[in-house]
Amino acid sequence: MPIEINWMEEVNKRKSSIIEDTQKFLQIKSVLDENETSIDAPLGVGIAKALQFLLNKGENDGFIVKNLNGLAGHIEYGTGKELIGILCHVDVVPEGDGWTSDPYGAEIRENKIFARGAIDDKGPTIAAYYALKIVKELGEPFQKRVRIILGTDEESNWRCVDHYFKHEEMPTMGFAPDADFPIINAEKGILDFTLTQHFQASGEQGEIVLQSFQAGRRLNMVPDMAVAILECKTEKSGDLLKEQFVLFLQNNNVKGKAVLRDHTVELKLEGISAHGMEPNNGKNAGLLLNQFLAKQHLDNNGTKFSTFVNQYLGQETRGHTIGIAFEDQISGELTINCGILSYDRAGIGEIGLNLRYPVSHKIEESKKKIIAIAEGNGFSYTELDDSKPHYVDEQTPFIQILKKVYEQQTGGKAELLAIGGGTYARSLTSGVAFGPLFPGRPDVAHQKDEYIEIEDLLRATAIYAQAIYELVKN
Ligand SMILES: [Zn+2]
């Protein structure tokens, strides 16, 4: 074995089969289908076919393969006590509308393969597969075992990894080619919760009664539209409200509308949508409309709702007003996104929040603070989900190897990344996200006309191959 292996050359020798297999794999429509399930295909026929496609390939190429009830599988090679995991997924999100070519055609145009799943995550899965195949074919001894773990439910409920790790060993270390290059080693914790207002019957009513208020549908999105319906005692107060609202829109430089019918005013405000991991990229229509409402002479319950929201959430996204702001070196600032605001005069008020906290943040203390504030104001706290932060120390030899490989192959610097989102890597105890999207490339995952650059597919294969080689040689 020559000391210097030219990884790109090894990849190029297999270029046509890498491209062909990627196309074949992409032509299987592996979208979750709960309506057409069976014992062998618990998530639908397409996903089962995609999983089997890779396991068959693995078997033909001389790997040890295993199918875990159609929910997950693995392709393994090597010997040794330690296990390296490469976590991929075969499921894709539905194709949606507006494609230039068949979303499952895997057509090649301008050196790109176009298909749903091309970059997320079927192209990278083939890259990881060929990487392992190349190292195996070079004939070097493996001092560790390597497993490509194939998930089937990453885009929905992660039932795949839940099932897999209930029955199979956790790799000593691993990576998931399901996000960005160079390396993501820190992911914030994600807490989803609601604060629910308890309606209090009250005789005393203000000049204006808040009938309903609605903004947003998902906790992890910044609401781009908010609508409030208010009942005014007199036509005059309705006119005045309308006037003030138009001025408010102008002052805040946002679009909206006020419609007065009899004694009822409907206020609409348009914001800008953004992902909840960085609410500052959007403009929260709900919080802004609420700010306007909080200044009006509303009925008691309406006042309680809007005042609470305005006082403790205001317009900021870092948790200062509720007293939980925090920041650390590794993963940056805590963020809070108010994804849902809903109020119904006949029912209850609800605030839906998505909080992303740094890896060293003491979340239990923040929860206590939030609960105390909520309860002191007639609201109750309901936790929906708390996904803990994920962090692998930069100094571990494993990360040092990935950094070295990335730098050698790309000539770029392997800066470690910390993100607010949760990647598939967090299902590995010591896992990082490692590719496949190179810096500067647009992220087309989940979009129409999703594609992978053939050059990137091959480059990722070479990087993964060298990474496997370096990781198993000692
Ligand atoms: Zn993915």
pLDDT digits (tens, 9 = 90+) for 383-419: 999 999 999 999 999 999 999 999 999 999 999 999 9
Centre of ligand 1 to C-alpha 178, Å, is 5
Tokens of residue 195, six digits? 């604060």
pLDDT at 2 over 90: no
Q: How far apart are alpha carbons 34 and 317 in whole angstroms? A: 37
Centre of ligand 1 to C-alpha 51, Å, is 15
Give me the mean pLDDT over the 2-24 stretch.
93
Tell me the pLDDT band of 348, cut-offs 50, 70 and 90.
confident
Based on the residue annotation, tell me whether 10 is a catalytic residue of this protein: no
Give me the mean pLDDT over the 176-187 stretch.
96
Centre of ligand 1 to C-alpha 427, Å, is 13
**Catalytic-labelled residue, pool 154, 270, 278, 333:** 154
Q: Where in the chain is the domain with CATH 3.40.630.10?
A: 7-187+390-472
Pairing state of beta strands 183-187 and 64-68?
unpaired
Centre of ligand 1 to C-alpha 33, Å, is 17
pLDDT at 445 over 50: yes
Centre of ligand 1 to C-alpha 71, Å, is 16
Tens-place pLDDT, residues 49-81: 999 999 999 999 999 999 999 999 999 999 999
Centre of ligand 1 to C-alpha 177, Å, is 8
Closest of 355, 357, 359 to residue 330, by C-alpha: 359
Centre of ligand 1 to C-alpha 176, Å, is 9
Tell me the pLDDT band of 200, cut-offs 50, 70 and 90.
confident
Centre of ligand 1 to C-alpha 396, Å, is 25
Centre of ligand 1 to C-alpha 76, Å, is 21
Centre of ligand 1 to C-alpha 153, Å, is 10
**pLDDT given at position 3:** 64
pLDDT at 1 over 60: no
Q: How far apart are alpha carbons 426 and 392 in whole angstroms? A: 10
pLDDT at 378 over 60: yes
Tens-place pLDDT, residues 243-301: 999 999 999 999 999 999 988 999 999 999 988 999 999 999 999 999 999 999 999 89
Based on the residue annotation, tell me whether 327 is a catalytic residue of this protein: no
Tens-place pLDDT, residues 299-347: 989 999 999 999 999 999 999 999 999 999 999 999 999 999 999 987 7
**Catalytic-labelled residue, pool 21, 91, 180, 456:** 91
Centre of ligand 1 to C-alpha 202, Å, is 50
Amino acid letter for position 324: I
Select from 3.30.70.360, 3.90.226.10, 3.40.50.300, 3.40.1010.20 the CATH code of 190-387: 3.30.70.360
**pLDDT given at position 251:** 97
Q: Where in the chain is the domain with CATH 3.30.70.360?
A: 190-387
pLDDT at 380 over 50: yes
Centre of ligand 1 to C-alpha 442, Å, is 15
Q: How far apart are alpha carbons 434 and 44 in whole angstroms? A: 29
pLDDT at 193 over 70: yes
Rounded mean pLDDT of the chain?
95
**pLDDT given at position 285:** 97
Predicted TM-score (pTM) of the model is 0.85
Q: How far apart are alpha carbons 129 and 144 in whole angstroms? A: 17
Give me the mean pLDDT over the 188-211 stretch.
85
In the CATH scheme, what is the code of domain 7-187+390-472?
3.40.630.10
3-state SS string for the chain: CCCCCCHHHHHHHCHHHHHHHHHHHHCCCCECCCCCCCCCCCCCHHHHHHHHHHHHHHHHCCCEEEEECCCEEEEEECCCCCEEEEEEECCECCCCCCCCCCCCCCEEECCEEECCCHHHHHHHHHHHHHHHHHHHHHCCCCCCEEEEEEECCCCCCCHHHHHHHHHCCCCCEEEECCEECCEEEEECEEEEEEEEECCCCCCCCCCEEEEEEEECCCCCECCCEEEEEEEECCHHHHHHHHHHHHHHHHHHCCCEEEEEECCEEEEEEECECCECCCHHHCECHHHHHHHHHHCCCECHHHHHHHHHHHHHCCCCCCCCCCCCCCEECCCEECEEEEEEEEEECCCCEEEEEEEEECCCCCHHHHHHHHHHHHHHCCEEEEEEEEECCEECCCCCHHHHHHHHHHHHHHCCCCCEEEECCCCHHHHCCCEEECCEECCCCCCCCCCCCCEEEHHHHHHHHHHHHHHHHHHHCC
**pLDDT given at position 4:** 85
pLDDT at 140 over 90: no
Tell me the pLDDT band of 437, cut-offs 50, 70 and 90.
very high
**pLDDT given at position 421:** 82
Centre of ligand 1 to C-alpha 91, Å, is 8
Residues 88 and 55: beta-carbon distance below 8 Å: no
**pLDDT given at position 474:** 86
pLDDT at 101 over 60: yes
